[in-house]
């Protein structure tokens, strides 16, 4: 008897005891002592599959191989997919909404990777309970290798879901749930890839951050702790949802607030105060002029941004006043500036300050501009090792830039060369009924295994 049949294909387990398996010398991955209800098959290298009933595997859809006691089991790729789904379900059930404690999810990952023999570092993040994690499989500190990067936090679930957003649901070839696409699905896959890796010749690292959705605050904390970090492979894949396309460029996102002071008084007597909204109007006129100017600007990398090839300046929130009959003593506007990858955000902001100073010259009271958060752009050069390797892997020649941000900008400050590549479509992220196509997960895993093998060696 043999453990593999070309008529059926796949991996099989012998129906019976370990002694019976050894008696027949079957080259198979595991065994099961089958009982009346559910029995677990032990599969090579710690993967698990479940058989139901008296030895039939209905979830596979095949009974015993005719004339033998051999059961068809899941293929290696199916086992990997099942492991990714299991870990994704576990992580999704933990509320990792940005700004809330996400350490419980990192604890699950850390324990899994430590059990697999990886070197694991738990690092401080922006606040207690919202830390970062770095794990390394294989030899630490050698040249070459690969870094995988993801964020553990998600945006709030919100309303409008067809099912519980914290429960993984499979339907229509998709996995639904908050974070399935952005980007807990990738995190689960990357974690398992490290746990599965064996006999690596070069390091395979995983960087997981908190509070990416709040402006990559966790990644910024890593930059602040750069001297304390273990050595990381320079080539890095950030697993944001890109529909399996390679993205080497993204814009930055600098958030700032303009505040204008006035003097309170009674609205029935306008001269009793100074309305701060009047001053803010001057500031907004200046911002509008700067917005129009920036929309005409193009840089070398603009061509990669097909829909929006220019920097974006966008007022997003106004605040002023406390009552109908009180002259506002303060008015403010929150503004987002998304610079192109090959622009310097501070230079652009200096131009905006200069224009504002001119517009506010006649205002009798104070005004200010304060930066809230600066999430830098990612500008990996075309021809960088990771760019060339990944585009060759998927057969892509085109340069693609995106207008959303990632941790890639901060990781660049750590000396990493990053591309974005991951399963799922960014268009369904941050929305009710977020999902990732299962086929995307299968393909992404296959691509990542190939590049891990190429860059790290060993058995990935």
Which residues are marked as active site?
Answer: 153, 212
C-alpha span between 247 and 306 (Å, rounded): 13
Pairing outcome for strands 48-52 and 378-379: unpaired
Per the CB < 8 A criterion, the answer to whether 416 and 232 are in contact is: yes
Per the CB < 8 A criterion, the answer to whether 295 and 339 are in contact is: no
Per the CB < 8 A criterion, the answer to whether 128 and 115 are in contact is: no
What's the burial of 208, exposed, middle or buried (CB within 10 Å: 0-12/13-18/19+)?
Answer: buried
Give the CA dihedral 83, 150, 229, 236, nearest 10 degrees.
100
Residue 148 host element (H or E)? strand 146-151
Residue among 79, 75, 199, 78 at smallest CA distance from 452: 199
Residue 83 host element (H or E)? helix 76-92
Q: Tell whether the torsion through CA atoms of 322, 323, 329 and 333 is positive or negative.
A: positive
What's the burial of 42, exposed, middle or buried (CB within 10 Å: 0-12/13-18/19+)?
Answer: middle
- Dig out the tokens for 364 from the structure: 């009798």
DSSP assignment, residue 381?
Answer: P
CA-based angle 457:152:136, to the nearest 5?
Answer: 25
Pairing outcome for strands 253-261 and 367-375: antiparallel
Residue 436 host element (H or E)? strand 435-437
**DSSP output for 89-122:** HHHHTS--BTTS--HHHHHHHHHHHHHTT-EEEE
- Dig out the tokens for 206 from the structure: 């995983």
């Amino acid at each position: 008897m043999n453990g593999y049949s070309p008529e059926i294909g796949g991996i099989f387990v012998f129906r019976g005891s370990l002694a019976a398996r050894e008696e027949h010398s079957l080259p198979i991955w595991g065994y099961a002592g089958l009982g009346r209800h559910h029995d677990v098959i032990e599969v090579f290298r710690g993967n698990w599959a479940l058989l139901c009933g008296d030895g039939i595997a209905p979830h596979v859809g095949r009974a015993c191989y005719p004339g033998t006691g051999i059961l068809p089991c899941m293929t290696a790729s199916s086992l990997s997919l099942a492991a990714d789904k299991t870990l994704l379900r576990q992580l999704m059930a933990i509320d990792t909404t940005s700004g809330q404690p996400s350490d419980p999810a990192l604890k699950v990952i850390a324990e899994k990777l430590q059990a697999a023999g990886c070197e694991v570092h738990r690092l401080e993040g922006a606040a207690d309970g919202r830390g970062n994690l770095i794990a390394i499989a294989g030899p630490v500190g050698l040249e070459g290798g690969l870094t995988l990067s993801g964020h553990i936090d998600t945006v709030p679930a919100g309303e409008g879901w067809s099912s519980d957003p914290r429960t993984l649901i499979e339907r229509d070839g998709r996995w639904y749930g908050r974070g399935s696409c952005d980007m807990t699905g990738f995190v689960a896959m990357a974690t398992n890839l490290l746990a599965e890796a064996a006999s690596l010749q070069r390091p395979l690292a995983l960087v997981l951050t908190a509070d990416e959705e709040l402006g990559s605050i966790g990644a910024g904390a890593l930059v602040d702790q750069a001297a304390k970090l273990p050595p990381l492979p320079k080539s890095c894949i950030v697993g944001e949802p890109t529909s399996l396309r390679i993205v080497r460029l993204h814009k930055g996102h600098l958030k700032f607030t303009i505040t204008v002071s006035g003097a309170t008084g009674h609205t029935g007597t306008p001269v009793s105060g100074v309305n701060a909204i009047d001053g803010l109007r001057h500031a907004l006129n200046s911002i509008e002029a700067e917005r129009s100017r920036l929309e005409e600007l193009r840089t070398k990398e603009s061509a990669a941004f097909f829909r929006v090839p220019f920097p974006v300046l966008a007022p997003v929130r106004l605040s002023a006043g406390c009552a109908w009959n009180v002259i506002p003593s303060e008015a403010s506007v929150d503004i987002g500036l998304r610079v192109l990858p090959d622009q310097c955000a501070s230079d652009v902001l200096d131009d905006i300050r200069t224009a504002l100073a001119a517009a506010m010259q006649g205002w009798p009271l104070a005004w200010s501009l304060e930066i809230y958060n600066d999430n830098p752009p990612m500008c990996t050069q075309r021809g960088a090792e990771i760019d060339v390797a990944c585009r060759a892997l998927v057969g892509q020649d085109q340069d693609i830039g995106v207008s959303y941000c990632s941790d890639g900008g901060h990781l660049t400050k750590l000396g990493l060369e990053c591309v974005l590549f991951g399963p799922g479509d960014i268009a369904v992220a941050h929305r009710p009924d977020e999902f990732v196509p299962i086929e995307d997960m299968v393909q992404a895993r296959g691509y990542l295994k190939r590049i891990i093998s190429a860059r790290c060696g060993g058995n990935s």
